[in-house]
Amino acid sequence: MISKSSFVRRFGGLVLAAALPSGVALAGDTAKSHAAKTDTTQTAPATSIEGTVEAVTNKDLTVKDTAGNTMKVEINKQTHYDNSGKSGAVKDLRPGMSVTIQGQKQKDGTLRATAVRYDKNAPVQPS
């Protein structure tokens, strides 16, 4: 025979859980609680392009990729610049430089750069 307290411990939580609105977690239910608090927005997949810089501003780059397509690349304070394994800066970039850019493609077709790799000392290709 099952005692009343044993029954409540085993099945009382089920009755209570069924009465709660979805998304509300019971104490001790950390997996559900964590999942409810987790941001469910998805980020765009990472994209990488190689090409030549055509124009540089403080907010974006215009890059012609190896297939000849021109693309706008957004840059911001979080963009990391890698000058042949050393820390770099947007001020190093100039038209004609070869670059490899990693970032997330945006809905409007631009690429938001997370990293720009280049060699400041490499010969610049004529435009």
Mean pLDDT of all residues in 34-50: 65
Instruction: Write down the pTM of the prediction.
Output: 0.64
Q: Name the DSSP letter for residue 117.
A: E
Q: What structural domains does the chain harbor?
A: 4-37 (no CATH), 46-118 (2.40.50.320)
Q: How far apart are CA 43 and CA 39, in angstroms?
A: 11
The per-residue pLDDT for range 99-109, each reduced to its tens digit, is 999 999 999 98
Burial-class residue 105 by CB neighbours within 10 Å (0-12, 13-18, 19+).
middle
Burial-class residue 127 by CB neighbours within 10 Å (0-12, 13-18, 19+).
exposed
* Percentage of the chain modeled with pLDDT above 90: 57
Q: What are phi and psi of 55, to 5 degrees?
A: -155, 150
